[in-house]
Amino acid sequence: MPVKSNIFTIASQTGYSVSTVSRVLTGQAEKYRISKKAIDLITATARQVNYQPDLVAQTLRTRQSHTIGLLVPGIDNPFFATLSGIIINLLACRGYHTLLADSRELEQEEEQALQMFKGRKVDGIIAVPVATSAANLEKIGRDIPVVLIDRHFKKTTLPYVCTDNYAGARMATEFLLKRGYKSILAIQGVTTSMPNQERLRGFTESIEGKPIKYAIAGDTFSVENGRDQVIKAFREGKRPFDAIFAFSATILLGTIDALRELNLKVGKDVGVISFDNNGFLDFLDPAVTRVEQPLREVSELAVATLFEIIEARRDGLRDPDLIQKLIPPALAVRSSC
C-alpha cells in the first residue's frame, strides 16, 4: 500500500520548514510574505508527490472549511440549475467548494439541508428559502453567515439579493395591454413563494380598473401545471383568453405544449409572455417574449455580500451594513405576443 504524502514529505524534499510548507498549501503565503521561489517549489513538489490535504484536520485547525452551502428548491428547474451554475463558478474563482442541496420546495427538506450544512462546518450559506418564516434561517445566521437569493422574507434581519419580481410582472402585463390584449390568463407557481406573490401583485395591480377579462390559475412552477391550466381553460375548443402570462419558463413550456395540442398558434391565435430568461426561449418558434432576470448580477452581489460577512467575522469585526436589494429585470421582446 503506497504511503500517503504529507507536508513532512514535501518539507523534506524542498528543504523548507514544515510551517512554511503548511502556510503555502493553505493559501497563507502572501500573509507571511513567503517568496515566489518557495511557493513555486512547494506547490510543484506537492503535485509531484500527489499531496492530498486532510480537509477534516485543516478545518479543525483553521476553523475554515472553504466550503459554502447552496440551497435551492428544485435543481431540475432550468432557472435554479442556471443560478446554481453561476454561483458555483463564482465560488470556485474564490477557491471555495460548493455543497449543493435541493429542498424540493419542502420545509422539512430545507431544515434537513441546513442541519447538514451545520454538520459539515460550511463557512457560509446562500439559500433560496421555502419556509414561510425567517426564524430558523435567522437563528442559523447568528453562527454561520447566511445570504438569501431569489426569495426573501418581508421582515427579516438577513441580507438578501433578489430580482424585483413586482416590477417585472408589471412590465410584462403592461406590455400585453399596450399590444391590445383584452383577456389574459395568468398561470402562477408556488403560491406561498415570495416571487410568485410579487408577480401576482404586479399583475393584478396592472390590470386594476381596466376593462380587462382575466383569470389566475395554477400552484406550482412546473411544466405539468402550465399544460393542465391551459387545457382546463381552453377545453371544448373555446378560446376564452387571447393572451397567457406564464410566471416561469417551466410553466411556459407546458403552456406551449397544450396550445399545440389544441391547434392554437403562439403569437397568432394566443399571445404568450413569460417570466425567466432561459436562452432556449429564442430557439422556440416563435421566440418568446419574457422578463429577463439579472441572474449574474444577483449572484455576484449575493456572493460578494456573503464574503464580506465571512471576512468581517473572521477578523472579529461586526457584520457589515445590512444589504437587502431588489435588482430590476428587463423585458426581452420577441414574436410570441
pLDDT tens digit sequence for 171-189: 999 999 999 999 999 999 9
Indicate the class that CATH gives domain 64-163+296-328. alpha beta
CATH 3.40.50.2300 residue window(s) in the chain: 64-163+296-328, 165-292
CA angle 238, 208, 329 (to 5 degrees): 90
Other CB atoms within a 10 A radius of the CB of residue 14 amount to 17
Which residues 6+ apart lie within 8 Å of 19 measured at CB? none
**pLDDT at res. 5:** 65
Distance CA 28, CA 51 (A): 17
Cα-based angle 57, 91, 112 (whole degrees, multiple of 5):
65
Per CATH, the number for 7-53 is 1.10.260.40
Averaged pLDDT, 158-164: 98
φ, ψ at 115 (rounded to 5°): -65, -35
The class that CATH gives domain 165-292 is alpha beta
| Model pTM score | 0.81
d(CA 281, CA 277): 8
How confident is the model at residue 291, as a pLDDT? 97
The answer, yes or no, to whether residue 81 has pLDDT greater than 80, is yes
Dist. CA 156–CA 51, nearest whole Å = 44
pLDDT for 334 beyond 80: yes
> Cell triple for residue 134?
425567517
Residue 23: pLDDT over 90: no
293 backbone φψ class: left, alpha, beta (φ>0; ψ -120 to 50): beta
The CATH 1.10.260.40 portion of the chain extends over 7-53
- pLDDT value of position 311: 95
Average pLDDT for residues 270-282, to the nearest whole number?
A: 91
**What does residue 294 show for φ and ψ, rounded to 5 degrees?**
-80, 70
